[in-house]
Amino acid sequence: MPLMRSWVAGANAPDCDFPLNNLPYGVFSTDGAQPRCGVAIGDSVLDLRAAEAAGLLPLAGGPYFPAPAWNALMAAGPETWAALRADLIRLLSDGAAQAEQVRPYLVPLSAVRMHMPFTVAEYTDFYASKNHAFNVGTMFRGPENALPPNWLHIPIGYNGRASSVVVSGTDVRRPWGQLKGPNDPAPRFAPSQRFDIELEFGAIVGQPSTAGRPVTVAEAEAMIFGYVLLNDWSARDIQAWEYQPLGPFQAKATATTISPWIVTAAALEPFRTPTPAREKELLPYLAEARPGLYDIALEVGLTPEGGTETVISRTNYREMYYSAAQQLAHHTTSGCAMRVGDLLGSGTISGPEKDARGSLLELSWGGKEPFTLEGGATRSFIDDNDTLNLRGAARGDGYRIGFGECAGKVLPALADPYAR
C-alpha cells in the first residue's frame, strides 16, 4: 500500500512515525488540562473528545471519548473500530471537505504529555521467541537441553500484574528482593544487581470471550484491537532464586513499560508475515489460516546519565515462533474468559545474531561478556540512572508505521525500602 497523503503538517514525510496510514490512538494532556483521547497524525494530535463533541465523529452508539481511555471504543467492537478509522481518514486526507473545521482540534505533538492509553484489565507475558528461549536455556542448562520439552508445542506464559504496567517516560525504581548466589549458604535481602529489560510486543484485547468457551486463532485475531511496544523489566538475580518451581513472580513485578500509542491491527495489515516452519506439528487448535506475524523493525537504545545513546540491539517482530493470535487462543483453552483491556506480552524478541538479542542477559551472556557503549563504558546489566528506550516501525512504500518511544529511566534502589 502506498502513502495515503494528508493535509496535516509533517504527515507526508517519509521519516514520520504517524502518517495517515497509521493513525495510532493515545491519551494526552496539555498545560495541566485533563487527559483525553487523541490520534497522532504528522506533527500533531487530534483531540478526539473535542472533535466528537463538535459533531465531527458521528459514530453510532457514542459518545466514546468522554473518559481518558480507549476501553469504551474497544468494547464497541470491530465495526465501530472500522467506522472510526474511516471517519478519521475522511477528515484528514488531502482535500478533505471539513479540513478547516478539524484544524482547531489539532494540538502540536511537542506540547503534549502522554498517559496510559487504556485501562489494563489483566496482563499475561509469554516466552515465545525461539532464539531467546534457546539462548537463555543454553546459559542455564546447556544447548542440548536449552528448550523445555513443551516449548515447540505450546505458547508458554505466566500471569503478571496489571498494576505493574506503566506508560513510556515513567521512572522505574531498582527493586529489592531475595538474592542467593550459587555459592551462598543462604539468601539475603538486597537490591537487584542484575536488572534487565525484555524487548517485547504487546497485543491489546479489544473484545471479550465467554467463560468456558475457547476461541479459535481466527476469532482471537479479530479480538485484538492493536499493539504497543512493551518492556518487561526483569530482575534476573531475584528470578534465578525464586523461579523454581512456579516461574517468575517478584522478578517481573517491578514494572512493565508500554509505548503510549496503540497502533491498530488495521494499520499493520499490509505488513503481515508468516510464523516460521514448525519443527514439531502444532495441535489443530493452534493452526493459522493466514500469516500471523508482522514485519516490524525493532531496536533498543541505552543512554547513561549525561551520556550518548548506544543502540545495543536491532531485531524484528517476525522472529517470533508464536503469534499474538495463537497466544490469545491458547489462553482461552482452559475456559479462561478474556476481558476488554487485557494485555498480552509477546515475550522477549531476539534474532539469531548477537546484536539482535532482546535482553541484556543475552547481550552480555549472563554477565560473562560485557558490551561497550559509546564513550567506552561497559555494561553487563543496567546501571542506576541508565535510560532504556525501545523503538519500532514497519516500513511501507514511502512511509513508516511507528509506535513512538517506549522509554524508562532506572532510579537507584531505596536506601531502606521499609522506612516510613
Is 141 strand, coil or helix? Answer: helix
Cβ neighbours, 10 Å, residue 334: 8
Classify residue 142 as exposed, middle or buried by CB count within 10 Å of its CB (0-12, 13-18, 19+). Answer: exposed
Spatial distance between the Cα atoms of 207 and 164, rounded to a whole number of angstroms = 22
Q: Do residues 233 and 255 lie in contact, with contact meaning Cβ atoms separated by under 8 Å? A: yes
Q: How far apart are CA 234 and CA 255, in angstroms?
A: 8
- Residue ranges in 345-415 assigned as alpha helix (H): 360-363
- 115 catalytic? Reply is no
Q: Which amino acid is at 155?
A: P
Cis upstream peptide for 63 (omega within 30°): yes
**Residue (of 302, 320, 316) closest to 385 by Cα position:** 302
407 burial (CB, 10 Å; 0-12 / 13-18 / 19+) is buried
Residues 169 and 90: their CA atoms lie apart, in Å, by: 32
The β-bridge partners of 311 are 301
Q: Of 115, 132, 153, 331, which residue is the catalytic one?
A: 132
Amino acid in position 198: E
Take residue 89 and report the three cell numbers written for it.
481518514
Q: Which residues are catalytic?
A: 132
